[in-house]
């Protein structure tokens, strides 16, 4: 009761605004206004999840099943602004909201019973401590709400990755190969997993994580990211 009054008071003094256009939000809106949601650069990868540029990217490097991205990444576009706020402006709620929006799209397109677990790519514990949260896990939480599939933190990260910028694609994959492992306390054997991350650039991290999960007996691993595109 009191918390609701306090919440209403805060909303009066500091009205919630849209993360993109800064317009005041209605009660039924969360993070983004309806107009900005309608204008998000949504991909249609979920309509051809086995035949799109993400699948082409991972082909031959991991057993490709489905690979999808909610948004198309474009410099100075809405997706870049949202990702920047999610990662660097202490706005974990944006990740949850984007997960919810994408989860609803996936649900409406028949993906209601595809997965047993949703697993985010982990951040290094030190990095997560500094940021306060893992942005990919926030995306997973939103997807979980919309799809009614539990989030299971099955992957662990063992060490810091060296800077990747001057490495070739194969070197990058080798470089991250030793970094990820499956948490021994989690049961992934025979499970159908949706592995999620914030962005797909070279795909090295997602390929490595998918391979680690498949080696430990996952039945299948599908991939979903918030944004992907050529101009990252």
Interacting residue with Zn ion among 33, 68, 204, 224 (CB under 5 A)? 33
Identify which range of 18-26, 39-47, 93-101, 114-122 contacts Zn ion by CB under 5 A.
18-26
- Return the H-helix or E-strand segment holding 206: helix 204-215
Cα–Cα nearest to 200, from 53, 102, 78, 61? 53
- Least distance in angstroms from the C-beta of 196 to Zn ion: 24
**Sign of the torsion angle spanned by Cα atoms 101, 134, 197, 63:** negative
82 binds Zn ion (CB under 5 A): no
- Least distance in angstroms from the C-beta of 22 to Zn ion: 7
Interacting residue with Zn ion among 6, 8, 11, 21 (CB under 5 A)? 21
> Is the CB of 36 or the CB of 196 nearer to Zn ion?
36
**For residue 214, is it left (φ>0), alpha (ψ between -120 and 50) or beta?**
alpha
Interacting residue with Zn ion among 36, 151, 199, 220 (CB under 5 A)? 36
> Is the CB of 97 or the CB of 137 nearer to Zn ion?
97
Identify which range of 9-17, 27-35, 125-133, 187-195 contacts Zn ion by CB under 5 A.
27-35
Helix, coil or strand: residue 64: coil
Q: Could you give the CA distance from residue 59 to residue 100 in angstroms, rounded to a whole number?
A: 28
- Here the contacts of 123-129 (C-beta below 8 Å, separation 24 or greater) are 123/157, 124/157, 124/159, 124/160, 124/161, 125/157, 126/160
- Least distance in angstroms from the C-beta of 82 to Zn ion: 11
- Least distance in angstroms from the C-beta of 104 to Zn ion: 18
Burial of 153 (0-12, 13-18, 19+ CB in 10 A): middle
20 binds Zn ion (CB under 5 A): yes
Q: Could you give the CA distance from residue 22 to residue 31 in angstroms, rounded to a whole number?
A: 10
> Is the CB of 101 or the CB of 195 nearer to Zn ion?
101
Please work out the total of residues on this chain that contact Zn ion, with binding judged by CB under 5 A: 5
> Is the CB of 20 or the CB of 227 nearer to Zn ion?
20
Identify which range of 10-18, 83-91, 166-174, 215-223 contacts Zn ion by CB under 5 A.
10-18
Going by DSSP bridges, is the β-strand pair 180-182/155-157 parallel, antiparallel, or unpaired? antiparallel
98 binds Zn ion (CB under 5 A): no
- Least distance in angstroms from the C-beta of 36 to Zn ion: 3
Residues contributing to the site for Zn ion (CB under 5 A): 18, 20-21, 33, 36
């Amino acid at each position: 009761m009191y918390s609701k009054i306090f919440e209403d008071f805060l909303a009066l003094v500091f009205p919630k605004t849209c993360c993109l256009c800064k317009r005041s939000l209605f009660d039924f809106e969360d993070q983004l206004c309806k107009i900005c949601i309608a204008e998000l650069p949504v991909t249609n990868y979920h309509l051809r999840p086995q035949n799109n540029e993400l699948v082409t990217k991972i082909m031959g490097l991991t057993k490709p099943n489905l690979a999808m991205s909610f948004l198309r990444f474009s410099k100075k576009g809405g997706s870049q602004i949202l990702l920047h706020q999610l990662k660097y402006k202490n706005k974990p709620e944006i990740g949850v909201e984007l997960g919810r929006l994408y989860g609803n799209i996936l649900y409406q397109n028949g993906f209601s019973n595809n997965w047993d677990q949703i697993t985010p790519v982990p951040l290094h514990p030190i990095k997560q401590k500094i940021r306060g949260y893992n942005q990919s896990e926030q995306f997973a939480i939103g997807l979980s709400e919309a799809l009614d599939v539990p989030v299971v933190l099955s992957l662990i990260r063992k060490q810091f990755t060296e800077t990747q910028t001057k490495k070739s694609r194969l070197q990058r994959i080798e470089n991250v190969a030793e970094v990820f492992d499956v948490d021994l306390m989690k049961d992934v054997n025979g499970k159908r997993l949706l592995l999620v991350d914030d962005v797909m650039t070279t795909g090295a991290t997602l390929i490595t994580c998918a391979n680690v999960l498949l080696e430990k007996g996952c039945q299948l691993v599908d991939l979903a990211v918030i944004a992907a595109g050529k101009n990252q």
